[in-house]
Chains A and B, each alone.
Chain A
Amino acid sequence: GEDVEQSLFLSVREGDSSVINCTYTDSSSTYLYWYKQEPGAGLQLLTYIFSNMDMKQDQRLTVLLNKKDKHLSLRIADTQTGDSAIYFCAEIFEYGNKLVFGAGTILRVKS
């Protein structure tokens, strides 16, 4: 079945690293995504990882994928106040482009 779960809330201090976690249930997922949503706005694609990869790094962002445990994480290095937002994990399947989202993790960065 299709189900994506995330922790609801994370609070960090400015300059620290943030790690947002996600678990998914469908092993046929081909790509996994991280989106950011700021208040009153749409979704911004941050990064994605193909299911045969273990890790992907993109500037301050590092994505780790443990396919055996169906666990995905997003690490944000040197977290800034502008990183405060809701972060959504999403998966996509081999056929078609339907995204299945988690409920989102609220990241609060304290200065």
Chain B
Amino acid sequence: DAGVTQSPTHLIKTRGQQVTLRCSPKSGHDTVSWYQQALGQGPQFIFQYYEEEERQRGNFPDRFSGHQFPNYSSELNVNALLLGDSALYLCASSLSYGAGNTEAFFGQGTRLTVV
């Protein structure tokens, strides 16, 4: 079992550009969540996808969007990048949205640097 895989591992972009980050969930998991972790802080929830729809959203602007594919993999898109978007972006997969507890497994993250 490969666990949660994210790509790329590192990325450098220029202000104003757009970026797409990718996540493949753990085998058997159907729910994918995205988190932003700024340096020295805890992860902040961006949004969650289940059955190819956004189910919950955190306090992030519309520049942050996502998608989930039929195979449960997911993409996070960020438009009009700002310097403040520099962070570690973490993907977490879990089973059965709305089931209460579920163990969320995290990928290694994508380190995005905006210059």
Contact = CB atoms under 8 A, between A and B. Distances in A.
Main secondary structure of the interface of A (DSSP, over half): strand
Contacts of A43: 43, 90, 92, 106
26 contacts: A4-B42, A30-B101, A31-B100, A31-B101, A35-B106, A41-B109, A42-B108, A42-B109, A45-B106, A48-B103, A50-B101, A95-B98, A96-B55, A97-B31, A97-B48, A97-B56, A97-B94, A97-B102, A97-B104, A98-B58, A99-B43, A99-B92, A100-B45, A101-B42, A102-B42, A103-B42
Interface residues of B, number: 30
Contacts of B101: 30-31, 48, 50, 92
B107 interface: yes
Contact of B45 (A42, A88, A95, A99): A99
A96 B48 contact: yes
Interface of B: 4, 31, 33, 35, 40-45, 48, 55-56, 58, 90, 92, 94, 97-109
Given A101-B43, A102-B42, A45 B48 contact: no
A29 to B, nearest CB: 11
Given A96-B98, A97-B31, A45 B105 contact: yes
B98 A97 contact: yes
Given A95-B98, A97-B48, 20 more contacts: A31-B100, A35-B106, A42-B106, A43-B92, A45-B103, A45-B105, A48-B101, A48-B103, A88-B42, A92-B101, A96-B55, A96-B56, A97-B33, A97-B56, A98-B33, A99-B35, A99-B104, A100-B45, A104-B41, A104-B42
